[in-house]
Amino acid sequence: MIGNQNKVYLFIHIIWSVKDSEPLLTKPIRAILFSQLQKRAGEKGINVLAVNGVEDHVHVLLQLHPAQNLSQVVKSIRTDAADWLNETKLIASPFQWEETYAALSVNPSTIKQVTDFLGRQEEYHKTKTLESELEVFDRINTEV
């Protein structure tokens, strides 16, 4: 028996890049940006569980509520982050994200592993590019 209420566990790992993969997100900028991103998302009812990244891309783990639309949530987070970067002028030129993003569903039993993986982004990307990371996901997707 499930009980007297719906139980919905939708966890999504989202990855997106800086326009033209430019390495604009320095470590000090990331520290402030990721805090702002999580705060602003929370104010809109978006539950960001973890956020991290490197100079050219961002990873976000979020819990999606049943009434939320993934593409609208991603657009909201990315727009807020870009607007904040442009308002604060932490980056000299106008800031933009690439139009595309990757979104992967996450098994609730692996949340800790995904959170740990996001926490190790700097170390991970010392030896692997974003493209090689996404190729792994592409291979998994074609095997299904």
Q: Three-state secondary structure along the chain?
A: CCCCCCCCCEEEEEEEEEHHHCCCCCHHHHHHHHHHHHHHHHHCCCEEEEEEEECCEEEEEEEECCCCCHHHHHHHHHHHHHHHHHHHCCCCCCCCEEEEEEEEEECHHHHHHHHHHHHCHHHHCCCCCHHHHHHHHHHHHHHC
Residue 144 falls inside a structural domain: no
State the chain's mean pLDDT as an integer: 89
Is residue 142 a part of any domain in this protein? no
pTM: 0.86
User: What pLDDT score does 90 carry?
Assistant: 92
Is 38 in contact with 52 (CB distance < 8 Å)? no
> Which residue type is seen at 86?
N
User: Would residue 3 count as lying in a domain?
Assistant: no
* 5 located within any domain: no
Q: How confident is the model at residue 56 (pLDDT cuts 50, 70, 90)?
A: very high
Give me the domain span that covers residue 41: 10-137
> Would residue 1 count as lying in a domain?
no
Contacts of 126 (CB under 8 A, 6+ apart): none
* pLDDT per residue as tens digits for the range 111-131: 999 999 889 888 867 777 667
Q: Domain count of the chain?
A: 1
Tell me, yes or no, whether 2 lies in a domain: no
Flag whether pLDDT at 141 surpasses 80: no
Residue 4: band (very low, low, confident or very high) from pLDDT cuts 50, 70, 90: confident
Length of the chain, in residues: 144
d(C-alpha 71, C-alpha 48), whole Å = 15
Domain holding 98: CATH number? 3.30.70.1290
